[in-house]
Amino acid sequence: MCIKKERDISKKTFIIALICIILVVSSVILYFGYRIGIFGGVSQTSDISSSESIKALEDFEYELVEGGISIIKYNGSAKDIVIPDEIEAQSIVEIGQRAFAGSKISSVVIPNTVKIINIEAFTNCSFLERATLPEALTTIAYSAFSNCLVLESIVFPSKVNIVGDNAFKGCTALKDITLSENILYFGADVFGGTAWSENIKEGIVTIGGILYKFYGDMPENYKLIIPEGIKTIATQALFDFDNLVEIKYPKSLKNIGIRAFADCEGLTTINLPEGIRRIGSGAFEGCLSVKEVSISSTVTEIDEGAFFACKKLKKLQVAEENNYFYSDGSALFSKGKTRLLLFCPESSQTDYVFPESVASLDEGAFFGCKRIKNLTLSELLTEIPMQAFFGCEAITSLAVPESVTTIYDFAFFGCKSLVYIKLPESLEKIGQNVFSYCKSLESFGLSENCESFVVKDGILFSKDMSILYSFPAKSSQRKYTVEKSVKRIERGAFLSAAELTGVELPESLESIADEAFMECESLSSISIPSNVTAIGSLCFKGCVSLKSITIGKSVNSIGQEAFIQCYSLKNFYMEEGNASFVVIDCVIYSADKTKLISYPSNKSTKEFAVPKTVKSIDNYAFYACFNLERIILPTGISGISPEFLYKCPAIKAFEFEGKSDYYSVRDGVLYNSDKSVLIKYPSNKSGGFFAIPETVLSIPNYAFENCRILRKIEIGKSVSAIMPFSFFEMDSLKLICPKDSYAQSYAEYSGFDYELT
């Protein structure tokens, strides 16, 4: 049976979604996002009536897309497939997302009309031996053929110019590869885990005209000479190589891929010579030592964030002959100065006036520009993008132009000297954490005629005052009663309001978003009203003066680490009638008492017996519990990790009330049941020396954390896995290990002092 769906043209087209950037953090913030063909996304769409919904054609399901038909599912049982070139007199132009995923086909011939093979289209086709790709093909998307275990060879047609991350990853038999010469974007780890990749040697790895990656350890002060004939540098090909100090580019090079040289902190200059045309997003992101960037006349495309977070960048140069870009020495523009891509963080300018022609600003354009004090924005701007002025620490006041309708996430994050900001009457949308860590902000300015927002007493609300967006960190109000109309407190709304001592929340309130009261350092107590259903992650993190919290009866969701770093917290209270949580002796549990969620940091008890009903403990449930010396665990507990107990410096030993089927304790140290994993060593355990038992194979992160008494640890040959933070905050530790062991390699790599046995 063949099912046909209709989709709306309002979605982004495949190619646009491929190269667009959506800014994470973690991290602060995830900056680079979900790209079709590189990190994932959606297919092309068409504005076709949805009155036709289901049609049949043998074993295929399909749908109408822009330009023709997309095969979206194969339901047949045939092993050798020849996909037709048209259905209903319309060309098949696309193989849809996961259309053949997991099918048992052994060969496939894709018609010459197909231009796009979408995300995971043939992933996990474990019996696929042959795939004939069409000459019209331009795009092979993310994981399109991943884990096709018996596929031995592949030929890329000449028009293929986009290859997504992991496109053939895990094709363990793949050894014969013929690439197109016209590839513009080549993803990360395209051939990871293939027979071809098993034979690569240390150093520069190339295939066809692609610099695929640098494999192995890079020598100190390494000067990279890219071989002549290379046209494209793959995504993340030389990501995070601090020893890289210089790059010599070949005349053949045309394209520098996404994050190709990101976080190469040893680079001091970026000199892009004649011949290079395209610079991908994040290509040189986080190259913290780069001071100068020189762009040749042949560069025609620079994606957003190409030089993001190059914090020492002082000078930009663009060849006069370049017809696409221009620089005044401090800022990088499109040739007509309609787009401002980047401003040098280390520019000596303290005052900057945007050219009147600037209509768009790249994400993170002024990231970390600490010297800028006075800024005049262009009246043609309609958006302030993500992280646009992140960390502009010297700006004291700013007027956002009346042309602006949208301000995106983190736009003014960390503008710690900003006292006042005037928002435009035209403002329609505002993102998250826009004014977080603006620690000097006293008030907002906004016309009463704004249709989407309102400012009352210097505080920013939605027009109907149902959402509280931002409470200025330096507001004169030390005790604040939230308006009775407010139903939601937005993410980071009160973040870093360090002088706020009290908040009274209204009964109308229904949800409190992530980080809402984070680092309100003077807040001593708070009561969550009865109608609130959700408390966001990190909601009260760093409220160091907070002594008690009362949780309302309707709360059914408490985000991760909601009460972390509340060092003064002694008591949790729960309103009667809560069906999701219960408080026993000031500790929060799930209602059925099978999960321990949070233990107050400043609870005075030195010894704590976890109730017998508890099966799991949340990460950081015991955070900075300075008084706690001994924990007794129930025999039925099965879900704990090293992070359940963190920064608890007085802990001397772990023990169980009886025999556990899941864990074991030996001399006060916590292991899994067969002692192959050392889970947690008590921070205050006596003795300066500890020999890890021979049964132990792995040591997870935070297994040893701030163990101040411990000076030496002996690690035997049995240990084959040690995580980066296994010995956290233990810089004076010496490791004793056998020669040529895993432990020796770890010690050398991590910089620990060691001696050999």
pLDDT digits 0-9 by tens, 703-745: 999 999 999 999 999 999 999 999 999 989 999 999 999 999 9
The DSSP symbol for 85 reads S
CATH number at residue 135: 3.80.10.10
Q: Is residue 357 part of a domain?
A: no
Q: Report the 10 Å Cβ neighbour count for 616.
A: 16
Question: Which residue in 276, 284, 273 sits closest to 184, CA to CA?
Answer: 276
Q: Is residue 137 part of a domain?
A: yes
Whether pLDDT at 273 is above 80 = yes
Report the range of poorest mean pLDDT among 44-48, 653-657, 666-670: 44-48
Same domain, 111 and 217: no
Q: Is residue 208 part of a domain?
A: yes
Same domain, 147 and 265: no
Whether pLDDT at 398 is above 50 = yes
Instruction: Pick 44 or 317 by higher pLDDT.
Output: 317
- Burial of 360: CB neighbours in 10 Å, binned 0-12, 13-18, 19+: middle
Same domain, 1 and 139: yes
Domain closes at, from 348, 365, 391: 348
Report in angstroms the alpha-carbon separations of 649 from 308, 547, 688, 708: 39, 20, 15, 8
pLDDT digit string (tens) for 545-580? 999 999 999 999 999 999 999 999 999 999 999 999
- Burial of 80: CB neighbours in 10 Å, binned 0-12, 13-18, 19+: exposed
Q: Is residue 521 part of a domain?
A: no
Domain closes at, from 348, 364, 389: 348
Whether pLDDT at 57 is above 80 = no
Residue found under tokens 């986080």: 286
CB 389 within 8 A of CB 411: yes
Q: Is residue 745 part of a domain?
A: yes
Same domain, 148 and 250: no
CB 516 within 8 A of CB 532: no
Q: Report the 10 Å Cβ neighbour count for 718.
A: 16
The pLDDT score that the predictor gives to residue 641 is 87
CA distance 135 to 152: 20
Same domain, 232 and 171: no
Whether pLDDT at 12 is above 60 = no
pLDDT digit string (tens) for 511-542? 999 999 999 999 999 999 999 999 999 999 99
Q: What are phi and psi of 203, to 5 degrees?
A: 110, -155
Same domain, 137 and 158: yes
The DSSP symbol for 707 reads -
Same domain, 38 and 114: yes
Same domain, 190 and 73: yes
Residue found under tokens 């826009």: 434
Q: Give the helix/strand (H/E) hosting 750.
A: helix 742-750
CB 512 within 8 A of CB 537: no
Residues 6+ apart with CB under 8 A from 749: none
CA distance 137 to 121: 14
Same domain, 109 and 244: no
Same domain, 140 and 260: no
The pLDDT score that the predictor gives to residue 35 is 31
Q: Is residue 744 part of a domain?
A: yes
Whether pLDDT at 4 is above 60 = no
pLDDT digit string (tens) for 334-366? 999 999 999 999 999 999 999 999 999 999 999
The pLDDT score that the predictor gives to residue 14 is 32
Q: Is residue 421 part of a domain?
A: no
Same domain, 163 and 144: yes
The pLDDT score that the predictor gives to residue 41 is 36
Q: Provide the residue type at 347 as one letter.
A: S
CA distance 281 to 488: 35
Whether pLDDT at 16 is above 50 = no
pLDDT digit string (tens) for 659-702? 998 999 999 999 999 999 999 999 999 999 999 999 999 999 99
Residue 305 φ/ψ region, left for φ over 0, alpha for ψ in the -120 to 50 degree band, beta for the rest: left
- β-pairing, 68-74 with 60-65? antiparallel
Residues 175, 181, 182, 183, CA torsion sign:
positive
Where are the strands (E) in 11-136, listed by range?
60-65, 68-74, 80-82, 86-87, 90-95, 107-109, 116-117, 130-132
Provide the residue range defining the domain that includes 720. Answer: 665-756
Percent of the chain clearing pLDDT 90 (strictly above): 90
Q: For the chain, how many structural domains are there in total?
A: 3
Question: Which residue in 402, 425, 408, 416 sits closest to 372, CA to CA?
Answer: 416
Mean pLDDT confidence for 261-273: 97
CA distance 35 to 21: 7
Q: What is the mean pLDDT of the chain?
A: 92
Domain closes at, from 199, 225, 246: 199
Query: Dihedral through CA 452, CA 22, CA 117, CA 142, nearest 10?
Result: -140
pLDDT digit string (tens) for 187-200? 999 999 999 999 89
Q: Is residue 125 part of a domain?
A: yes
Same domain, 193 and 209: no
